[in-house]
Amino acid sequence: MRPETKRRFVSVFGFVACASVATLACAPQGFAQRSDVFRMTSPSPRPGQWLTTDPLAANERQPDPSEPTVKAAPVAATISVGSMQVPAGALKEFRRSEKCVRSRDYAGAVQHLQKALKLDPKFVEAHNNLGAGLLEMERYRDAITEFDATIAIDSKLEAPYRNKSLSLFQLKQYPEAEAAARQALGLDPGRKATWYLLGSTMAAEGSRSQEAERLLRESMGEFPEARLALAQVFLNRCANLNAAQELRTYLASGSVEPDRRRALEIWVERSSKGQVMAACTGEKLAD
């Protein structure tokens, strides 16, 4: 954000964690809420609107039972223009991109944002929102380029760091994703979406830490699926009974889709019989 313009902005963000442990795998059901990616003016999105399943599962091999993984469906933070202090042509293209988003034409939105940036290369909101569009189109590396461009213009904005973290998460570059999430947290320590992202990234890295557990517990009220990532943290500790209890609680919420419900039920059933991750074989279980 250029200091001289003092543009106001609001952002929305969310993503989904999906535990894939032992014999549990997430059902590939794609993006159910694509329109939420570019929602630019709602400061209070419904907590459940991002609860979709893993978009990457359909293209991946079956998970190795010894590999704990947490995955995320990307829903990027976008920035809205709060002033008219940009070239008229660039602003016009920006508004056209918003119209494309409302009709779920993300490729069209990207084209309009690219045109806006040709007219105003330092249009910070356009860079960030272009990155959000590319992320939605699963062009994660191109999205990171735009988020880096946003940060280069204004390093005090929190949204592009969080978006960059989410893109890196999708590329399974978990240490880099964690670093970007921590930068976002430093700029806005109270944002629960970042707590959820950071905690889930740490879970995917194999963290057993109390910090990861705390972040996920404290974001659970706004992001119920943080409970799945918390189960992953317990599984990383070889505390399979604790993990199973988190999954039972999640199942009891009544908001679980049938395919995912069955996968979770299978995991809970097997864990109750003492079947645990291969990585825990030979270790003293924490339960």
> For residues 109 and 122, is the Cβ–Cβ distance under 8 A?
no
Per-residue burial over 184-218, b if 16 or more Cβ lie within 10 Å, else e, is: bbeeeeebbbbbbbbbbbbbbbbbbeeebbebbee
Count helices and strands (H / E) in the chain: 11, 2
C-alpha span between 180 and 258 (Å, rounded)? 34
Asked if pLDDT for residue 278 goes beyond 70, the answer is no
Assign domain 18-280 to its CATH architecture.
Answer: Alpha Horseshoe (1.25)
The answer for residues whose C-beta is within 8 angstroms of residue 150's C-beta and 6 or more apart is: 124, 127, 128, 131, 157, 159, 160
- % of the chain surpassing 70 pLDDT: 65
**Per DSSP, what are the bridge partners of residue 19?**
70
pLDDT, tens only, 121-160? 999 999 999 999 999 999 999 999 999 999 999 999 999 9
Using the predicted structure, report yes or no on whether residue 281 has a pLDDT greater than 60.
no
Per-residue model confidence (pLDDT) at position 118? 97
Report how far residue 51's alpha carbon sits from residue 247's, in angstroms, rounded to the nearest whole number.
Answer: 16
* Residue 71 phi, psi (nearest 5): -120, 165
On average, the pLDDT of the chain sits at 74
Instruction: Summarize pLDDT for 62-91 with one digit per residue, the tens.
Output: 344 434 344 444 456 666 665 557 899 999
**Beta strand extents in the chain (DSSP E only):** 18-20, 69-71
